[in-house]
Amino acid sequence: MADDSPFTVDAEWLESRLGQPGITIVDASWYLPAQNRDARAEYQAAHIPGAVFLDQDAISDPDSPLPHTLATPQYFAQFVGGLGISADDTIVVYDGPGFFSAPRAWWMFRVMGVFQVYVLDGGFDGWKAAGRPVTAEPTKIAPCVFHVDFDAARVANIDDVRRILVTGESQLADARPPGRFAGIEPEPRPGVRSGHIPGARNVPATALSENGALLPKDRLRKVLEDAGLDLSKPVVTSCGSGITAAVITLALETLGHTDNRLYDGSWTEWGGRTDTPVESNKG
């Protein structure tokens, strides 16, 4: 395991365990259109031997009008069981750059009751750059039963956030880039307003890692506190559609902060409505 976080593993640790029973590797890559990367095509061209591809769009709730809504426990269990993932496995998730979409998969598995789940430091880009083994061979999948133990208390909805604006019972941390948070850069999804939830603090997901690796604990703490978060108080994380909010969640958990929830609808829901207050830094 990586020295400074209980939720990451390094490439050497994983490479030494390739092919071992009980180790499940999951490519959870997902990219914004502006990144010009096709996660599934990249997986089909090259992946860590034995890895299965977890489609972040397909595993979302099919009945939700919002992107990346957390699936029902039943749907999630059926989906990941179909990939041959067992709740008893040690699961290692990765994405291309390291800490972009993989933490979302890490969070989903934890919400569904799996705690032996880790993110690969350095991501697949770092894995390839180091000359570690890759393959284009399809991974053989043996479907299994995935047993869910859903923890609804780790998920926040729009009513929770509305209440927070009244009571101040929790802090809000937004993982979007500064320009989008400030409302001076447009949102990538049509019909979604620019700006942020009133009182939210901006903690860009990219500020929590370096060269594809999660920052050491002292630097994580500094980034979060410099953003204005009090780590002795509850936090609700958000982002554009619930993906990179989990990067903040992982950072908080790494520091021992467990009183946190992820706002699953995130800015796509809040900014896509006309009855929710919005702050921006536009003149």
**Residues with active-site annotation:** 239
Tokens for 61? 């709730």
The neighbour count for residue 68, using CB atoms within 10 Å, is 25
Quick check: 155 and 111 in contact, CB under 8 A? yes
Strand-by-strand arrangement of the 260-263 sheet: 155-156, 260-263, 235-238, 171-174, 201-202
Who contacts 136 (Cβ-Cβ below 8 Å, separation ≥6)?
44, 45, 46, 47
